[in-house]
Structure 1
Amino acid sequence: ELAPLVKMAAPTLGVITSIGREHLEFFGDVAGVAREEGMLAELLPTGGKLFLYGDSEWSKEIAARSTVPVSTVGTAVGNDWRAGNIRQYPDGVVFRVDGPVDGEFRLRMLGHHQATNALLAIAVAAELGVPCDVIAEGLASCMGPRHRLQVTELNGVRIIDDAYNANADSVNAALNALADMPCEGKRLSVLGPMAELGENTRAAHEEAGQVAAALGIDVLLAVGANAALTVDAARDAGLASTFALPDNAAVVRMLRDEMGPGDVVLLKGSRTARLEEVIVGLKEQA
C-alpha cells in the first residue's frame, strides 16, 4: 500500500510514528505491519532522511532497511532525540526534550504518547531549520483533529472524545490518558468495537477490559458486537462496574444516570461505532 503513496508524494523526509496492531485483518500480524510501513525506509531518495520512533522493537530492523540516514526519536536511552519528564494536565502534556534541540515543550493534546509524536515533529522542524522558539510556539498552539482525544465539558463533566478510530494499542493509550487525567469524581470509559483485527479480534477486546481494570477505571461501558468480551475480561480482572450495551442510545441513557459533576468520560471506538453520537445525545438530553 505504501509504495504508490510514496511515488505520488515524492517525499525527501519520512516519518514513522509507530508500529502498532492496526489493520491486522489485512497484514496478518505486527510483523506484517512493520514490513509494510518499513517500506518507507527503502523508498526515500538519496539526500533524504528517515525519522523513526526508536522505542519500538521493530525500529532496528527498519533502520537497517533504510537507504538514507536515520534519526531515532523516543523516550529510551540511545535515541537521538529523547522525551522525558512527561506530565499530563487537563489541557495537554508538557515534556522535556534532550537532543540536538533541548528544552521544555507544551502540547495541547492529551496522552503521554503525544509527547513522542510531537518530538518527531520537533526533529523534522529542526532538520528544516525552524528556530526553537518558533517550534515551541507552534506546538503550544496546535490543536488535535476532531474526535482524537478532544476534551469538551457538559454540566461539569469532562468528555474525552477519541471516537475517530481504534485498535488495541490506541485503546490502551486512550485508557492511560483517561487514568492520567486529573479527576475529582469518577473515571468512566465507553469502549466501542475495534474493526479490521481479523483473528486478533477476541484477544484485543478482552485486553481492553483487562487494561481498564488494571488502570483503576471506575466504570466501563462496552458497546457493540464484542462488548461482552470486554466486559467479561474486565470483571475477571476485578472491575465490578462494567456493562455491555447494545447501541449508542443505550450508552446515552446509562451515562445520564451514572455520570455527575467532576467525572471524566472517555469515548473510544472504531469509526464504524460513531461514538460521537453519544455526545450529541447527552447534549440533547441535558
Structure 2
Amino acid sequence: IGRYREIIEPDIAIVTNAAEGHLEGFGSLQAVVDEKLALAAGVAVALVGTHPPSLAEGARARGAAEVLTVDIEHGDVRPERMTVEEDGRATLTIDGRTFTLPVLGRHQAGNALFAWAVARVLALDLDAAARALSAVRIPGGRGELVRVGSLTIINDCYNANPASFRAVIDLVRRIRGRRRVVFVAGSMLELGPAADRMHREIAEALVALDPDLLAVVGAFVPAIAPWAGTLGGRLLQAPDAPTLAPLLAGRLVGDELVVLKASRGMALERILPAITRHAAESAEA
C-alpha cells in the first residue's frame, strides 16, 4: 500500500478498519494495521474507523494533517440517528438528511458513513449525497439479496474473515423473524497459524445463532465437530460446494432465509444454481 500511496499521492485517505484477515501474509493484526495506515502518510485528511482504536493515533503519527474518526456510535462523523429495519436495511439521519440504504446490514451503514464523510470534507451537495446513497448498488456476492419464490438468499461469499462472519450473523439475528434459517459456511482463507482457532470461534457463534440447518464445507467441517452431536440432523457437511449443493437443495422447503458465506477461494456461489432451481420448481408445484 505504501508503494501505491507514493504513486497516487492522495489528498484524502480512508482506512475503514483493520480486522483479522490476510494474517497468512502479514503475520499479525498489528502488521495489517501498519500496512493499511501507510496510505495515510502525509495526507491532508485521514478518515479512519475505530476498530482498532489505534487507527486514529497511527494516522496522526504518520503525518496526516487532519484525522477524523468515522463510526456509527463514537465517531467524529456519526449519524444523529440510525435504525435497522426488519428487512435488514439501515435508515440514517445525519446532517439533517434522512435516507435508507438499499443494502443489508449495520456494517454497510458504517461503510456509507465513510462516503458521507468524504462528501462533507469536499463540501459536496449533501442532498445529492443522500440521494446517491439511497440508490447505491454493490457488486454481487457482497451481501447480495436474491429472491426466488418465497426463498430469500443472502449471497455474501465474495470474501470472509472473522469480523465479516460476525457481521452477517448479527444481520441474520436481526432479520430472521419466524423464518427457517439455513446458514452455509465455507472456509476463511489466509488466516495463517490462527486459522483453526478462528474457525472454531466462528463455528461456536454459528451454533449460538441456532439455525434450522447449518451446512459447512472446507475448514468448518473439523471446526464444527465439537457441536455435531448437539446439531444432530440440523448439520450438513461436505468437502466442497459442488458436493454440498444437491444435499442442501434436497433439504430446503422453499420459504427459508439462506445465507452463503465464505472466502472467495471457496467459490461457494456454485451452490446457487441448485438451490434456486429447487426453489423455482417448488414454487411452480
* 1:91 Cα deviation from its structure 2 partner: 6.2
Q: Which letter does structure 1 place at the counterpart of 2:221?
A: A
Q: Specify the SS of the correspondent of 1:221.
A: strand
Partner residue, 2:217: 223
- CA–CA separation in structure 1 for the residues paired with 2:3 and 2:97: 38
Report the TM-score, using the length of structure 1 for normalisation: 0.89
* 1:50 Cα deviation from its structure 2 partner: 0.6
Q: Which letter does structure 2 place at the counterpart of 1:53?
A: G
- CA–CA separation in structure 2 for the residues paired with 1:282 and 1:181: 21
Structure 1 pair 8–64 and aligned structure 2 pair: CA distance change class (3 A): closer
Aligned pairs for 1:167-178 (under 5 A) are 167-178=161-172
Q: Specify the SS of the correspondent of 2:13.
A: strand
Q: Is the 8 A contact 2:88 2:171 kept in 1?
A: no
Q: Which letter does structure 2 place at the counterpart of 1:87?
A: V
Q: Which letter does structure 2 place at the counterpart of 1:269?
A: A
Deviates more, 1:227-236 or 1:162-171: 227-236
- CA–CA separation in structure 2 for the residues paired with 1:283 and 1:216: 24
Q: Is the 8 A contact 2:260 2:268 kept in 1?
A: yes
* 1:15 Cα deviation from its structure 2 partner: 0.6
* 1:35 Cα deviation from its structure 2 partner: 1.3
Give runs of ≥4 in structure 1 deviating > 6 Å.
Answer: none
Which one of 37, 48, 51 corresponds to residue 52 of structure 1? 48
Q: Is the 8 A contact 1:187 1:219 kept in 2?
A: yes
Q: Is the 8 A contact 2:245 2:271 kept in 1?
A: yes
- CA–CA separation in structure 2 for the residues paired with 1:268 and 1:175: 10
Which one of 60, 66, 71 corresponds to residue 64 of structure 1? 60
Q: Specify the SS of the correspondent of 1:220.
A: strand
Q: Specify the SS of the correspondent of 1:244.
A: strand
Report the TM-score, using the length of structure 2 for normalisation: 0.89
Partner residue, 2:83: 86
Aligned pairs for 1:13-24 (under 5 A) are 13-24=12-23
- CA–CA separation in structure 1 for the residues paired with 2:113 and 2:84: 14
- CA–CA separation in structure 2 for the residues paired with 1:63 and 1:102: 29
Structure 1 pair 268–57 and aligned structure 2 pair: CA distance change class (3 A): same
Number of equivalenced pairs: 276
Q: Is the 8 A contact 1:184 1:262 kept in 2?
A: no
* 1:255 Cα deviation from its structure 2 partner: 2.2
Tell me the alpha carbon deviations over residues 47-91 of structure 1, each in whole angstroms, 9 at most, x when there is no partner: x201111353323432432422011111333x2112443314426
Give ranges in structure 1 of 5+ residues lacking alignment: none
Deviates more, 1:195-204 or 1:63-72: 63-72
Q: Specify the SS of the correspondent of 2:103.
A: coil
Identical-residue share of aligned pairs (%): 26
Tell me the alpha carbon deviations over residues 207-262 of structure 1, each in whole angstroms, 9 at most, x when there is no partner: 121111223333211112x12233225548x5552232122133222322322233
Partner residue, 1:262: 255
Structure 1 pair 204–233 and aligned structure 2 pair: CA distance change class (3 A): farther
* 1:41 Cα deviation from its structure 2 partner: 2.2
Aligned pairs for 1:1-286 (under 5 A) are 2-44=1-43, 48-67=44-63, 68-77=65-74, 79-83=75-79, 84-90=81-87, 92-97=89-94, 101-224=95-218, 226-235=219-228, 239-240=231-232, 241-285=234-278, 286=281
Q: Specify the SS of the correspondent of 1:54.
A: coil
- CA–CA separation in structure 2 for the residues paired with 1:20 and 1:92: 23
- CA–CA separation in structure 1 for the residues paired with 2:212 and 2:82: 27
Q: Specify the SS of the correspondent of 1:258.
A: coil
Give ranges in structure 2 of 5+ residues lacking alignment: none
Q: Is the 8 A contact 2:157 2:269 kept in 1?
A: yes
Tell me the alpha carbon deviations over residues 151-202 of structure 1, each in whole angstroms, 9 at most, x when there is no partner: 1012311010011111111111122222222444211111111111110110
Bigger helix share: 2
Q: Specify the SS of the correspondent of 1:151.
A: strand
Q: Which letter does structure 1 place at the counterpart of 2:238?
A: L
